[in-house]
Homo-oligomer: A and B are copies of this chain.
Amino acid sequence: MPERRTLHPPHRSTARHGAERPSGRGLLPLNTPQQKAVLRALAGLDVFASAQGIHRHLRGQDAPVSLSTVYRTLATLEHLGLVDAVRDSRGEKAYRRRDTSEHQHYLICRQCGYSVPIPCEEFEEWLAATQRRYGFVDVRHMLTFEGLCRGCRDRRAAQPLAP
């Protein structure tokens, strides 16, 4: 009954983050035109964007990049810890550039995608205490918030009955 669903391929991918990073060059440069296009799409964007979305976006621009390249680049970025990834409610993975080298959480606007990183010390403390209390170890967590940012809330208030 314990219902073993296929184990994630041993997470080596995400796990190795910092790890052996600093070695002169690994998979790094990340400087092909396509990779740069993806980086550019993400840069300075306070928005979680999906691979498909970035692909569509770039297609509309000067620089179309193949979908697989977008996926591959995002995977690399995630492994390097340069972006944060979440799963939205539809199961699509969405990415956003990461500024700090620390673990981060965000408040995300479900209307426009705007996101703001939030300080979580308090939360992390609570979490540490909790996992200790239940005898769990090596706990990874995911925390996502979806709401309406001030802008979208006001906009919505403006046009009352619009769908």
Contact = CB atoms under 8 A, between A and B. Distances in A.
Chief secondary structure at chain A's binding surface: mixed
Interface in A1-38: 1-6, 8, 10
Given A57-B3, A114-B2, A126-B123, A145 B150 contact: no
A143 B140 contact: no
Interface of A: 1-6, 8, 10, 41, 45, 47, 49-50, 52-54, 57, 87-94, 107, 109-110, 112-114, 116, 118, 122-123, 126-127, 130-131, 134-150, 153, 163
Nearest to A149: B136
A85 to B, nearest CB: 10
A58 to B, nearest CB: 11
B140 A146 contact: yes
Contacts of A135: 149-150, 153
A149 to B, nearest CB: 6
